[in-house]
Every structure is written in structure tokens, then in C-alpha cells.
Structure 1
């Protein structure tokens, strides 16, 4: 169950006219690159076949980038008490559901069980939709300490936490690549709307195979 993803030809043509090529980045230096895996936890994977379908691509990217000397960062939903505003917005019951979405126990044990995690990987919690929002995620500081300049965004949900992370990463000055077949939403329409937005304004959109070529 994979997304039928697409970017319209008119958007490809627009970028080709602007910069003389379809895709922004022709190479990603592995040592300066981080694979950011957003919210791949049972709460999302168990209920959504699209999420389970991207697991092999994320695992492939993680193993390849590690072997090339890059960084893999697993980002989990934090478990904060819902604010008054979140409770007002979602309703008390749904706000509590979201609060518990990251699961319980050690962070490494809260990831979807099919992933292999290396001791050199980063595992962090975020306390906002974005993994890059200042003050609500330690990820930007950790990546800066490793000399990271390029961010590959994968995970779920494409049009919420993944999109928010890609936008904020671009704002912070990272080269951003969103992987079309390693992000998942509830519907193709939601998924493709985000791919359009990211490709048009914030970063590049590539497939897993294309990203591996950029790294090697």
C-alpha cells in the first residue's frame, strides 16, 4: 500500500526555468547529511498501511547513510501535558490521545519494531509538530555539532510533522530533501499536496533510489 505520488509537470517546468535544472541538489556529501525519521512509532504504523509500506525504504536509507559516514536521527513524539490551547483546539479526549502517541518506555523501544537502530544514531523527542522548532526539539543543536548541512526528511505524517520539519529545516538553512516514497500520509491527496509545497518553496523531492545516488 504505497502512495501514488506525483508532482505536476508544470512545477517541474517552473523550476527548470528558474534554475536551469529540475532538481536543486546534484550531490549530498554523506558526512554532512542526516536522515531524519519522523514519528515512526506504533501509534501511526499500526493504523495506517501507508506508514508500514515505507519502512523498507527508510531502513534502506538508514543503512546506506550510516555506511557512508552520515547521521541517522530518529525523532519521537514527546509526551508533554497538553496546553490549555491544545485542549481547547482538539478537545480534551483527543488532546490526551495525541499526548500519548509517542508511547511509553525507553525511546529506542518506542520505535516501530522493524527498524534496526545503531548506537551512533540520534534518538530525540520533539515537543512540537516540527523536529526543528527552536526550543522544542534538541535536534538542530545535535546536528550542528556533527556538522550537518543536508537533511533528508522521512516518516509520518507527510502533511503534518514531516512538512513542518522540512519547512523549519529550510528556514534554519539546511538543504532539504523530502523522500517521496519514504513519507506517508492518510491519503494520496494529502501526501501530494505536501510534496508540491516542499518542491516549490522549501527543498527538493526525490525517491529513495535517487537519494542514494545523490549520496554515492
Structure 2
């Protein structure tokens, strides 16, 4: 598990601004979605940080479903390689990333440690962010369910998860990044993303805090 933290000066900054540490002191489960980003074998199998967050994602999913909320699984889409991809990554790596989400029915592409439910949402994204217009159907799917709050989890913290948190805030969602249900390659990468999200885009809370918010609703 990552050794995560938010610097005391950042907590103090927000406490001075708004009179409390966290922006969102309550949530409505029926208007809340757990967004699980890119938890597929390509990313999870070789990264112990990813494997360590599976139980926390499952805990939140079970609690939120039980309270009437939504669980949304977002997987990488199989995309066409572009000249830009080849130029940026190199042809071999570009091809690996292009197919990183696997093929077949979406529920079967998930890491084996999950047991999705029939009422869960499944969608693919063809960009880093699950909320970038035109690159993922997630915003439209959440709008249909009246969602106003998103709990961001998954991998990689500082790439697809942070990108999703930023764009979700831009689209008007209340964003909570779950600190111990996101995973990166290194603690410093993980914590840099948490710092950015807490400072500008949303709250950063551990799983136990999120479960408390669900239970208190």
C-alpha cells in the first residue's frame, strides 16, 4: 500500500479558506458513483500497489451499492494507433498500450479480484480521462442516473485517475479521490497527484472516511 499523505500546510490552507478541512462533508448515495479506472490485468498484474487497492475498491463498491449508489467500471478501449502515438511512445510500446484493455466482454476484462453486479455501469475510454468529452460515455451514463458526486479509484493515480478527477471537476461533479484506493508506480508519483487534486480539484479521503460518509447518509 502506498504511504500517502497530504502536507499539513495544504490542510491549513483550505481550513483557512473555507473553515473546514474537506469540501464535501456529506454525500447522497443515490447521486454518487464509484468510478473504477483501468483495473485490468495489464496494469494490475505486475504492480503490487494496484493489487493492494482491490479490497478497498470492493469495500466501497459493496457499501455504495447497498446504499443505492452506482459503481462504474471504466476500461481502456482498443484504439487505432496514430503517427503521434508512434512518435511519442515508439511503435512497439504504442502497440502495447493500444491493446492494454484486452478484448471481449467488458466485465471479463476486469482484474479477477472483482465481482461486478448486473446493475453496474461498464464503459470504455479512448483517452486518459474518463470524463473527456467525446472519448468516453461515462458522463452521459452518470447523467442518466442523476449523479453529482464521483469517488475516483483505480490506476494509474497520476495519469488516468488524476486526469479523470480534473475533467470531472470541470464538468461540475463533486470529486473525492480515494487515497488508498488509487495506485501508481511510486509513492512520490501517487502523492504528487493527491496534492494536485486536493489543492485544486476535489477532496482526498481514505476508504474508511468514504465508508463513513456512505453510512452517515
TM-score if structure 1 supplies the norm length?
A: 0.99
CA deviation profile, 1:70-90 (whole Å, cap 9, x unmatched): 000000000011222112111
Query: Where does residue 86 of structure 2 map in the other structure?
Result: 87
Query: Where does residue 36 of structure 2 map in the other structure?
Result: 37
Distance 1:105 1:132 in 2: 23
Distance 1:32 1:114 in 2: 26
Query: Where does residue 66 of structure 1 map in the other structure?
Result: 65
- Aligned-residue Cα RMSD (Å) equals 0.5
Q: Which runs of 5+ in 2 are unaligned?
A: none
Distance 1:178 1:109 in 2: 26
CA deviation profile, 1:17-42 (whole Å, cap 9, x unmatched): 00000011110100000000000000
Which secondary structure state, in structure 2, belongs to the residue aligned with residue 60 of structure 1?
helix
Distance 1:86 1:128 in 2: 12
Which secondary structure state, in structure 2, belongs to the residue aligned with residue 183 of structure 1?
strand
Query: Where does residue 157 of structure 2 map in the other structure?
Result: 158
Query: Where does residue 13 of structure 1 map in the other structure?
Result: 12
TM-score if structure 2 supplies the norm length?
A: 0.98
CA deviation profile, 1:175-209 (whole Å, cap 9, x unmatched): 00000000000000000000000000000000001
CA shift, 1:214, in A, is: 1.2
Equivalent pairs, count:
215
CA shift, 1:10, in A, is: 0.3
Distance 1:86 1:17 in 2: 44
